[in-house]
A and B are shown apart, each in its own frame.
Chain A
Amino acid sequence: MFIINCPFCGEREQSEFKAGGEAHILRPKQPTELSDDEWAEYLFMRKNIKGVQFERWNHAHGCRKWFNMVRDTSNDEIKAVYKMGEKPPLE
């Protein structure tokens, strides 16, 4: 069970949060212009790496804000949290 540092509330138990998959996948602005393959890329393809991963998290039982997290999935070390819209911290 992690302790997550919500960018809005501070440190809270993981049980207050909900994971929301890979971060920084923008919904295409003009979906109708996309081919089936391009749309499928947005819709289905997600990374699942052993190592440093960018993820979306939601403080579901707290402030209900979405934010981003950089997490090493091999040891669950949380390297950074930052607000939606902010640039991901450089490696």
Chain B
Amino acid sequence: MTKNLRIKTGKAIDETYRISFRFNGKTYYGFKGDTLSSALLANDVHLVGRSFKYHRPRGIMTAGSEEPNAIVQLHDKSARTEPNVRATEVEIYEGLEASSQNCWPSVNFDIGGINNFLSPLLPAGFYYKTFMWPASFWEKYEYFIRKSAGLGKSPTEADPDLYEHKYIHCDVLIIGSGISGIMAAKIAAKNGFKTLLVEEKPNLGGSTIYQNSDYFKINNQNSNSWLEKEINEIKKLKNLEIKTRTSVAAFHGYNFLLARENLTDHLPIEQRKDKTRHKLLKIRAKKVISATGSIERPMVFDNNDRPGILLSSAIKRYADFFGVACGEKNVLFTNNDSAYETATSLIQKGINIEAIIDNREQVDSKLVYEVEKNNIKIFKGYTVTDTFGYKRINRISIKQLSKDGQKVVGSRINLSCDCLGVSGGWTPAVHLFTQSGGKLKFRDEDQVFIPNTYPSDQLSIGSCNGDFTLDEILKNTPKSLKEFLDIKNTEYESLEIISSTNKSKRNIWLLPSDKVLGKTKSFVDYQNDATAKDIKLALREGFRSIEHVKRYTTTGMGTDQGKLGNMHALGIISETAGAKMGELGTTTFRPPYTPLTFGTIVGRNVGEYFDIFRKTPIHSWHEENKAEFENVGQWKRAWYYPKENENMHQAVQRESKAARESAGILDASTLGKIDIQGTDASEFLNRVYTNAWSKLAIGKCRYGLMLNEDGMVYDDGVTTRLGENHYIMTTTTGGAANVMGKLEDYLQTEWPELDVYLTSVTDHFATVSVCGPNSKKIVSEVIPDLDFSDESFPHMSFKNAKIGKINCRVMRISFTGEHSYEINIQANYGKSVWEKCMEAGKDYNITPYGTETMHLLRAEKGFIIVGQDTDATMTPIDLQMDWIVSKKKYDFIGKRSLYRSDTIREDRKQLVGLLTEDPNEVLEEGAQIVADVNKSPIEMLGHITSSYYSPNLKKSIALGVVRGGKNMMGHKLIIPMEKRNINVTVADPVFLDKENKRLNA
């Protein structure tokens, strides 16, 4: 039987609404408003997981997003499963299923627990030191490490939930709804600022909302009642939007923030259907106010990690807010007044406190006197030296601290307990502030880092700014807001405040013990099992930079980013190395503040919406005719058109033969098209292409090669002179946008004097390319009025024409080496022209072919594909295309680079043809090319760039780049494959119709 530790209705709990849930396979009950952790604690369940390295039993430690231990997997084995969820943040709902992480086979019997007994063998850097060698053993270790360490399991099915992104613009963003955040929201909204208040928890009010005590009063009301009235008022403000369950993940420069609004995680699963689960808010705020609060510090002593040890503030929250007692025999351990706030709360509710251990020798504080009045034993000047109990704390040992706090003195006192609340003071939650680029300063009095310089228009208020007492918050918040928002007055100028916290604190980063350090387990980072001993070891081994110590010991590298222990790590380093805290600096906190699921990050950009894809106007025809598609940039291009049971090879062989023997048809609409006009258009082309353009006659087409300024081939394509000052340029499909950008860049920045206008018209035209010996017959049937005679319409020329009433441009150009025509027509007529050509070509076996056949046909002719046969290291000379580089032109982009010492080297990689000894052997693209396989290491001469079996030549052909290949015609080379070597001969890259007779066939 489990005990019921529900004391009475907590503030957040609806006791009329019972909810059942499962944890580690067992059914429990809680109430609406419970978190998984409060519900488990109410059922007296503390043991919730195992630690990462030693697999020590661990319990719930906190009540918030800083939780290092209570990390659970939700809905294991379902599509909705999610790892690394903090039990302290999960609101329970009917049907919730959670299980412990980091334990195998079960939380009660954990095989990795043996690491705990082996721990002398597992020091800092253990994984680096042990598993690095021998490298071949890594695979074997990894299996066991992963299985037993288990950082949760990722889902194996697609995420069934919906996610959205939303942009928000506001004047003032306030992060955190504690008392200072609420005051800021009211002041900002009432002064006309469009204000957004976000809070990570489901309710507003921070920790003040349950501070129901005579020791904290505002205007004669308990602070919780006062704040509740304020909250009710701000909910009515028109200028203010409030989002709860909304956690800021990242705070970037220029006040750009990302926040996750959680909309359905608290609902029973059947109520989530068709609802958006998370919204990723992209917030751009003119001003940001951080009111992110502070996180209580644990303390570092031997065995400070047992289940049943919690932060003192968490015990208070569970009691006040959830109505749950964390134990029946509670002991508090503190170095400051905060634990007494917890104590007064527990006393008020009749929860038993066995004793309070206080590091401080003397304290003059109202809160302490109040507790003493209740006959609770306070051990002043004492420290906890050890704790006992494997799966739940059952006893502690305490000893008196020496005057300097460095040693323990006197005899050991044992106290039995089932819960230990620890308070080591407070750490301002400056994570978001530092993410934004803010710089911190160290405040010596209470050993905290607080915001110092702001990189943007932002402000930190409340305890994240180091104001820890009610008094300081109420006085400083209105003051700094007036300046920040540039307003004269606030309604909070003359509040009557009773604030009983005494600020004295006795900070000892690593508490002394009666054991030597090597024999203790004093945890600094709970999630990653880094101890004080590990940090000292790292320093002994020579690590000095805080960033290096972090990585070596893994302190602060868990999913909690060390929210609890980073300050202790710094403190121990500072004490050991004799450096000042303020000078050590802190490690960098990186987004996200708490983990985000991938679904939230990608939003709606999944599946077919992952990336844009572009379809040509003829796409539906290709689909209807069973084309397989290939992605080229964002385009979907028809790849090949398999008939019946053809595989790709068979289809491509058939398509290639048909194109050369009779007629083929290709959808070339994806080629980039740039309309170029202006009186300097010819001069412009002269400057951007390697060849000369001024003398190109109107109505003629020319192939051009474009270089980068470094002389390397950038793009290619045919450009046609439509008129005196009018050209249409085509680019490669993938290069279109970049070419356009590059041309605009030169026009705007280098040659603004040129009268040239560029317009991208890629999408405006559909391009149907018909090739083969019967192409002329087919297109002249489609466009009967046009004179297709070779005299009137020779290769590399263009004519305006009409199909019906529709204007079109017909170019006689060829990428296959066949007699061929390209019809360019307004995009929406593309499919109809295609169909007309198919109809006209029926008697000639007109065969649609895709990109694969196009590649094969051009390879037979030795035509390059930029990006396949070139890779930004090839000059035109390397490509054996010297003929296209004008010797006469004074300048063009990249010209000067063509005779740099490096580009004129004879032994550069050059494009050659390659023929295999066995004509049926097709080489693998990307395979290496070598000359000598006996030399070690084998010298690599180049690689294969294109390779096909040519049905027209009835042999295998390949293009490749080979060092010094230009002068190696006829040489024998070797393609070394995994199991054998293939012999090849260097050949002319033009394999078919060197004389170009087929162009006029």
Pair A39/B749 contact, Cβ less than 8 Å: no
Given the complex of chains A and B, what is the CA–CA distance between A46 and B437 in angstroms?
A: 26
A84 in the interface, Cβ–Cβ < 8 Å? Answer: yes
Pair A58/B745 contact, Cβ less than 8 Å: yes
For A45-85 the 0/1 string (1 means CB < 8 A from B) is 00000000000101010001110000000011000000011
Q: Which of B437, B455, B748 meets A65, CB within 8 Å?
A: B748
Pair A66/B895 contact, Cβ less than 8 Å: no
**Chain B residues, Cβ within 8 Å of A84:** 748-749, 752
Known: A3-B254, A3-B284, A75-B437. 8 other contacts (CB 8 A): A1-B253, A1-B254, A13-B284, A26-B750, A31-B895, A32-B896, A64-B744, A75-B253
**Chain B residues, Cβ within 8 Å of A43:** 709-710, 897
Pair A66/B749 contact, Cβ less than 8 Å: yes
Interface pairs (13), CB distance under 8 Å: A1-B252, A13-B284, A27-B709, A31-B891, A32-B891, A32-B895, A39-B896, A39-B897, A39-B900, A58-B741, A75-B437, A76-B253, A84-B752
**Chain A residues, Cβ within 8 Å of B253:** 1-2, 75-76
Given the complex of chains A and B, what is the CA–CA distance between A40 and B752 in angstroms?
A: 24
Given the complex of chains A and B, what is the CA–CA distance between A20 and B890 in angstroms?
A: 27
Given the complex of chains A and B, what is the CA–CA distance between A31 and B890 in angstroms?
A: 9
**Chain A residues, Cβ within 8 Å of B710:** 43
For B212-254 the 0/1 string (1 means CB < 8 A from A) is 0000000000000000000000000000000000000000111
**Chain B residues, Cβ within 8 Å of A31:** 891, 895-896
B901 in the interface, Cβ–Cβ < 8 Å? Answer: yes
A34 in the interface, Cβ–Cβ < 8 Å? Answer: yes
**Residues 691-713 of B at the A interface (beta carbon under 8 Å):** 709-710
Given the complex of chains A and B, what is the CA–CA distance between A75 and B437 in angstroms?
A: 8
A26 to chain B, nearest CB (A): 8
**Chain A residues, Cβ within 8 Å of B896:** 28, 31-32, 34, 39
B213 to chain A, nearest CB (A): 44
Q: Which residue of A lies closest to B895 (CB)?
A: A31
B255 to chain A, nearest CB (A): 9
Q: Which 10 A-B pairs have the closest CB atoms?
A: A31-B896, A1-B256, A66-B748, A27-B750, A76-B253, A39-B896, A3-B254, A2-B254, A36-B900, A66-B749
Q: Which residue of A lies closest to B891 (CB)?
A: A31
Given the complex of chains A and B, what is the CA–CA distance between A43 and B893 in angstroms?
A: 12
A80 to chain B, nearest CB (A): 16
A2-B253, A2-B254, A31-B895 as given contacts; A85 in contact with B745, CB under 8 Å = no
**A13, A18, A34, A65: most-surrounded residue (chain B CB, <10 A):** A13
Q: Which residue of B lies closest to A83 (CB)?
A: B748
Given the complex of chains A and B, what is the CA–CA distance between A31 and B710 in angstroms?
A: 12
Q: Which residue of B lies closest to A29 (CB)?
A: B891
Pair B752/A60 contact, Cβ less than 8 Å: no
A15 to chain B, nearest CB (A): 10
B758 to chain A, nearest CB (A): 10
A37 to chain B, nearest CB (A): 10
B residues sitting closer than 8 Å to A (CB atoms) are: 252-254, 256, 284, 437, 455, 709-710, 741, 744-745, 748-750, 752, 890-891, 895-897, 900-901
B166 to chain A, nearest CB (A): 15
**Chain A residues, Cβ within 8 Å of B749:** 56, 66, 84
Q: Which residue of A lies closest to B257 (CB)?
A: A1
B236 to chain A, nearest CB (A): 33
A39-B900, A43-B710 as given contacts; A76 in contact with B254, CB under 8 Å = yes
Given the complex of chains A and B, what is the CA–CA distance between A36 and B899 in angstroms?
A: 8
Pair B256/A20 contact, Cβ less than 8 Å: no
**Chain A residues, Cβ within 8 Å of B748:** 65-66, 84
Given the complex of chains A and B, what is the CA–CA distance between A39 and B252 in angstroms?
A: 40
A56-B749, A58-B745, A75-B437 as given contacts; A40 in contact with B900, CB under 8 Å = yes
Given the complex of chains A and B, what is the CA–CA distance between A75 and B253 in angstroms?
A: 8
**Residues 11-33 of A at the B interface (beta carbon under 8 Å):** 13, 18, 20, 26-28, 30-32
Q: Which residue of B lies closest to A74 (CB)?
A: B437
Given the complex of chains A and B, what is the CA–CA distance between A66 and B741 in angstroms?
A: 10
A9 to chain B, nearest CB (A): 15
Pair B745/A75 contact, Cβ less than 8 Å: no
Given the complex of chains A and B, what is the CA–CA distance between A75 and B890 in angstroms?
A: 44
**Chain B residues, Cβ within 8 Å of A26:** 750
B253 to chain A, nearest CB (A): 5
Given the complex of chains A and B, what is the CA–CA distance between A85 and B741 in angstroms?
A: 19
**Chain A residues, Cβ within 8 Å of B437:** 75
**Chain B residues, Cβ within 8 Å of A34:** 896
Q: Which residue of A lies closest to B252 (CB)?
A: A1
Q: Which residue of B lies closest to A67 (CB)?
A: B748
Given the complex of chains A and B, what is the CA–CA distance between A60 and B253 in angstroms?
A: 21
B582 to chain A, nearest CB (A): 21
Given the complex of chains A and B, what is the CA–CA distance between A13 and B455 in angstroms?
A: 18
Given the complex of chains A and B, what is the CA–CA distance between A43 and B752 in angstroms?
A: 20
Given the complex of chains A and B, what is the CA–CA distance between A40 and B709 in angstroms?
A: 11
Q: Which residue of B lies closest to A39 (CB)?
A: B896
**Chain A residues, Cβ within 8 Å of B891:** 30-32
Pair A36/B455 contact, Cβ less than 8 Å: no
Q: Which residue of A lies closest to B709 (CB)?
A: A43
Q: Which of B741, B890, B897, B901 meets A60, CB within 8 Å?
A: B741
Given the complex of chains A and B, what is the CA–CA distance between A27 and B751 in angstroms?
A: 10
**Chain B residues, Cβ within 8 Å of A3:** 254, 284
B694 to chain A, nearest CB (A): 19
Given the complex of chains A and B, what is the CA–CA distance between A84 and B901 in angstroms?
A: 33
**B254, B284, B437: most-surrounded residue (chain A CB, <10 A):** B254
Q: Which residue of A lies closest to B708 (CB)?
A: A43
Pair A75/B455 contact, Cβ less than 8 Å: yes
Given the complex of chains A and B, what is the CA–CA distance between A4 and B284 in angstroms?
A: 13
A20-B745, A75-B455 as given contacts; A36 in contact with B901, CB under 8 Å = yes
**Chain A residues, Cβ within 8 Å of B901:** 36
Given the complex of chains A and B, what is the CA–CA distance between A90 and B891 in angstroms?
A: 34
B592 to chain A, nearest CB (A): 16
Given the complex of chains A and B, what is the CA–CA distance between A26 and B113 in angstroms?
A: 67
Given the complex of chains A and B, what is the CA–CA distance between A72 and B744 in angstroms?
A: 27
Q: Which residue of B lies closest to A33 (CB)?
A: B896
Q: Which residue of A lies closest to B710 (CB)?
A: A43
**B256, B896, B897, B900: most-surrounded residue (chain A CB, <10 A):** B896
Given the complex of chains A and B, what is the CA–CA distance between A40 and B902 in angstroms?
A: 11
Given the complex of chains A and B, what is the CA–CA distance between A13 and B752 in angstroms?
A: 27
Pair A85/B752 contact, Cβ less than 8 Å: yes
Given the complex of chains A and B, what is the CA–CA distance between A85 and B241 in angstroms?
A: 46
**Chain A residues, Cβ within 8 Å of B741:** 18, 58, 60
Q: Which residue of B lies closest to A65 (CB)?
A: B748
**Chain A residues, Cβ within 8 Å of B455:** 75
Given the complex of chains A and B, what is the CA–CA distance between A14 and B330 in angstroms?
A: 55
Given the complex of chains A and B, what is the CA–CA distance between A59 and B454 in angstroms?
A: 29
B761 to chain A, nearest CB (A): 15
Given the complex of chains A and B, what is the CA–CA distance between A32 and B896 in angstroms?
A: 6
A21 to chain B, nearest CB (A): 11
B688 to chain A, nearest CB (A): 13
B456 to chain A, nearest CB (A): 9
**Chain B residues, Cβ within 8 Å of A28:** 896
**B749, B752, B890: most-surrounded residue (chain A CB, <10 A):** B749
**Chain A residues, Cβ within 8 Å of B744:** 64, 66
Q: Which residue of A lies closest to B253 (CB)?
A: A76
**Chain B residues, Cβ within 8 Å of A65:** 748
Given the complex of chains A and B, what is the CA–CA distance between A39 and B711 in angstroms?
A: 12
**Chain B residues, Cβ within 8 Å of A40:** 900
B745 to chain A, nearest CB (A): 6
Given the complex of chains A and B, what is the CA–CA distance between A43 and B901 in angstroms?
A: 14
Given the complex of chains A and B, what is the CA–CA distance between A34 and B752 in angstroms?
A: 23
A5 to chain B, nearest CB (A): 12
Given the complex of chains A and B, what is the CA–CA distance between A43 and B38 in angstroms?
A: 65
Given the complex of chains A and B, what is the CA–CA distance between A64 and B254 in angstroms?
A: 23
Given the complex of chains A and B, what is the CA–CA distance between A31 and B253 in angstroms?
A: 41
B527 to chain A, nearest CB (A): 31
B741 to chain A, nearest CB (A): 7
Q: Which residue of B lies closest to A31 (CB)?
A: B896
Q: Which residue of B lies closest to A85 (CB)?
A: B752
**Chain A residues, Cβ within 8 Å of B254:** 1-3, 76
